[in-house]
Chain A
Amino acid sequence: MYVDTQLRENMRRIVITGMGGICALGHNATDIWQAMTEGRSGIGPVRHIDLTRIRNDVIAAEITDFEPLAYIEETRLPFLDPLSQYALVAAGEAIRQSGLDVRGERSSRTAVVVGVGAAGEETREGLYHRLYVENATRFHPLGIVRIMSNAPASQISMAHGITGPTFTVSSACASSNHAFAQAALMVRAGLVDAAVVGGSEACVTLGVLRAWDAMRVLAPDTCRPFSANRRGLVLGEGSAMFVIETLESAQARGATILAELAGVGMSADAGDIAAPSEIGAAAAMRIALKDAGLQPTDIDYVNAHGTGTPANDSTETRAIHDVFGAHARQLAVTSTKPMHGHALGAAGALEMIAAIGALRHGIVPPTINYLGPDPTCDLDYVPHEARAMTVRAVLSNSFAFGGLNAVVAVRQAP
């Protein structure tokens, strides 16, 4: 994955020129970033599920007031689970912002890579309810094309006429960051010149909530990463998409460069299926730094995985100490999950909005809902309020169930 110095000199540099998003904080990346700087939370009681069928008071960061027809043609809509609707909204915004013409000559030299942890869960549960509960004899024929986890990638390619490598990457909560890695490596290798990349998830359904609840990792009150008395994670949903391309291409087009996608790091714990490992997490961060040609002291901000579970946050803190040594104390380390929720396969993509915002605007979004220090979490988590500070480079962490870790390093536009 990481390359030696000589190779790096000849390596294509990759920049981000478009960004789009939708989540509980807003229906475009500008509104989402604004909410992050204000420390606003999108978490609230779940609205569209019968709560009598669930053990605890269930909260989530749900998308509200979303009118798909404002973004998507009516004839296309029957084919789309919310999973794909969100992805189309975010990808449309990112491609528009980039100004990149992905049709014509560029079409086959552009990739689409989407991180998805679950799949079209709303459609799946609706169909299974008809099968097992209503004993229905007929199934809706569009079930498969709505449910399949590659649907968002396919729909983006269809909507924008992109004919290059197009696929979904699935590694639970690390899916988006693994997607960034796949897209970046394809551009770097010269297989394509640009990619639409990000993640999507529409997981606030009764079945998914019940399954997470059964693992006893859902917080009943709210999400409080790195805080004393944190009680778990809160699910979220949404999508964020980005256009990446070579620095050369962006400069030739005169495009606005949002940030440089400097490096990626991936590792597997080869340990427990659920419990996090500081060794695996630290390995992924180290590899991302090395791949980016960055020293630990070059990083000013770590957008943490920071789920708000007791195990993740203390393990991640130890891993950051291990990688950064004395510089760990100089870092701003925040989790934006109390704002947009844990959107599983879309988490790393939504958090990339935070990373890019921090680089461009010199503002680190806060860790909200913080009650006070936990002895096992002793870094600077920027509690409550955003901080204005110079951010030269960022690590964005995602650590998935299954022990799969993916970290992306981004830095200021060259």
Chain B
Amino acid sequence: MSQVQQEVFEIISKQAKIEIGTIKTESTLKDLGIASLDAIEVIFDIEEHFNINLPNEDVDFENGTVGHLVEAVERQIASKPAAG
């Protein structure tokens, strides 16, 4: 598990109050019982944690999996200007 994935899973587990072990990359937020504003809050927590902005296209609450979310976070981190 990558560092980013570990951190994303920790944020989700904290928000949904579920064991981190129950989160699978193929789970959707909906599968994990995170719906409506709770899901939007998870995305916000992830954005704050990594200091990135996730565009709406990367946030599909119905069909997008946690794996997709991790990939989107990794893409955003990679596209951030080098630290300085």
Which residues from chain B contact A215 at a C-beta distance below 8 Å?
37, 40
How far apart are the CA atoms of A56 and B40 in the complex, in Å?
Answer: 16
Which residues from chain A contact B55 at a C-beta distance below 8 Å?
55-56
- Is A214 located at the chain interface by the 8 A CB criterion? yes
> How many chain A residues touch the partner (CB < 8 A)?
11
Which residues from chain A contact B44 at a C-beta distance below 8 Å?
214
Minimum CB–CB distance from B34 to chain A (whole Å) comes to 13
Give the segment of A149-157, A242-250, A268-276 that binds chain B: A268-276
- Is B32 located at the chain interface by the 8 A CB criterion? no
Which residues from chain B contact A214 at a C-beta distance below 8 Å?
40, 44
How far apart are the CA atoms of A55 and B36 in the complex, in Å?
Answer: 21
Residue from the set B44, B53, B56 with the largest chain A CB neighbour count within 10 Å: B56
Which residues from chain B contact A220 at a C-beta distance below 8 Å?
56
Which residues from chain B contact A56 at a C-beta distance below 8 Å?
55-56
Minimum CB–CB distance from B36 to chain A (whole Å) comes to 4
Binary CB contact string for chain B from 21 to 47 against chain A (1 if under 8 A, 0 otherwise)? 000000000000001110010011000
- Is B16 located at the chain interface by the 8 A CB criterion? no
How far apart are the CA atoms of A214 and B59 in the complex, in Å?
Answer: 12
Q: Are A272 and B36 in contact (CB under 8 A)?
A: yes
How far apart are the CA atoms of A32 and B55 in the complex, in Å?
Answer: 35
Q: Which of B37, B40, B43, B53 contacts A55 (CB 8 A)?
A: B53
Identify the closest chain A residue to B62 (Cβ).
A310
Q: Are A273 and B37 in contact (CB under 8 A)?
A: yes
Q: Are A216 and B40 in contact (CB under 8 A)?
A: yes
Identify the closest chain B residue to A273 (Cβ).
B37
Q: Are A216 and B35 in contact (CB under 8 A)?
A: no
Which residues from chain A contact B35 at a C-beta distance below 8 Å?
275
Minimum CB–CB distance from A321 to chain B (whole Å) comes to 21
How far apart are the CA atoms of A56 and B37 in the complex, in Å?
Answer: 19
Identify the closest chain A residue to B61 (Cβ).
A216
B-facing residues in A208-226 (Cβ within 8 Å): 214-216, 220
Identify the closest chain B residue to A310 (Cβ).
B62
How far apart are the CA atoms of A272 and B36 in the complex, in Å?
Answer: 8
Q: Are A274 and B53 in contact (CB under 8 A)?
A: no
The 4 A-B pairs of least Cβ separation, nearest first, read: A275-B36, A274-B37, A272-B36, A274-B36
Q: Which residues of B are at the interface with A, using a C-beta cutoff of 8 A?
A: 35-37, 40, 43-44, 53, 55-56, 59
Assuming A273-B37, A274-B36, what are 20 further A-B pairs, CB within 8 angstroms? A55-B53, A55-B55, A56-B55, A56-B56, A214-B40, A214-B44, A215-B37, A215-B40, A216-B40, A216-B43, A216-B56, A216-B59, A220-B56, A231-B56, A272-B36, A272-B37, A274-B37, A275-B35, A275-B36, A275-B37
